[in-house]
Amino acid sequence: MQTDNINFQDIWNKKSAEIPNIQEIKSTADKYKKKQLQSTMWHIFSLSITAVMIIFIWYVIDFKMFTTTLGIVLILVALALYIYLFSQNVNVIRTINPSISNQEYLASLKKLQKQQLYMQSKGISIYYVLLTAGFAFYFYEFALRMSTFGATLAYGLTFLWLAIAWFFLRPRQIKKQNEKISKVIDSLELIEKDLDEKI
């Protein structure tokens, strides 16, 4: 028999002894949703402030070379892309509601997981390519005014940070996010499987 008409809110309210740790699962799901929403909103805010500061610098300083302007535009496009991807996450997170049916709830969580996987693969790859190219073009005008050592140091430190972010910080963040959402989805799928067997 299908469980389409059963929702998690009903199950949580019953506090049935037959379904173990249901309150813990509910709490984990709710905490995950709140944390994801706060984290996503913080990322959107910080990226927006960064974009505003870059636009201000672009407006105030009279850059002589086209490469500097091109670099700023590429950095702003990278930030705009990432803000857009994060805003898509907000839309998905807001649809996650334990009062809807279990099928819809799981579908919302899986949609969020799919959105995160897209961000972690294609989205962040495009972001880093644009950001790296943007910094390369942006620093060119300043590098011409520096000594060879200064220019090498400026480029080296910038690209070292990007490499650390790409090869070290990004994989850790992806693993952490995937573990959290997978834990919630697996727990809820286990409940659904138990209900299918008992009904």
pLDDT averaged over every residue in the chain: 77
The tokens for 115 are 């959105």
Range 55-78 average pLDDT: 91
Range 176-195 average pLDDT: 70
pLDDT by residue (tens digit) across 16-34? 444 445 556 666 667 777 8
User: With bands split at pLDDT 50, 70 and 90, how would you rate the model's confidence at 80?
Assistant: very high
pLDDT by residue (tens digit) across 135-180? 889 988 888 888 888 888 888 898 898 889 888 887 887 787 777 7
Residue 101 phi, psi (nearest 5): -65, 155
SS3 track for the chain:
CCCCCCEHHHHHHHCCCCCCCHHHHHHHHHHHHHHHHHHHHHHHHHHHHHHHHHHHHHHHCCCCCHHHHHHHHHHHHHHHHHHHHHHHHHHHHHHCCCCCEHHHHHHHHHHHHHHHHHHHHHHHHHHHHHHHHHHHHHHHHHHHHCCHHHHHHHHHHHHHHHHHHHHHHHHHHHHHHHHHHHHHHHHHHHHHHHHHHHC
User: With bands split at pLDDT 50, 70 and 90, how would you rate the model's confidence at 78?
Assistant: very high
pLDDT at 5 over 50: no
pTM of this structure: 0.70
Q: Which residue has the higher pLDDT, 84 or 92?
A: 84
CB 81 within 8 A of CB 126: yes
Q: Which residue has the higher pLDDT, 123 or 83?
A: 83
Residue-level pLDDT at 99: 64
The tokens for 95 are 């649809």
Q: Tell me the C-alpha to C-alpha distance, in Å, between residue 98 and each of 26, 78, 92, 110, 171.
A: 8, 35, 14, 14, 30
Per the DSSP assignment, residues forming a β-bridge with 101 are: 7
Could you state, in order of their start, the residue ranges of all structural domains in the chain? Answer: 19-198
CB 7 within 8 A of CB 101: yes
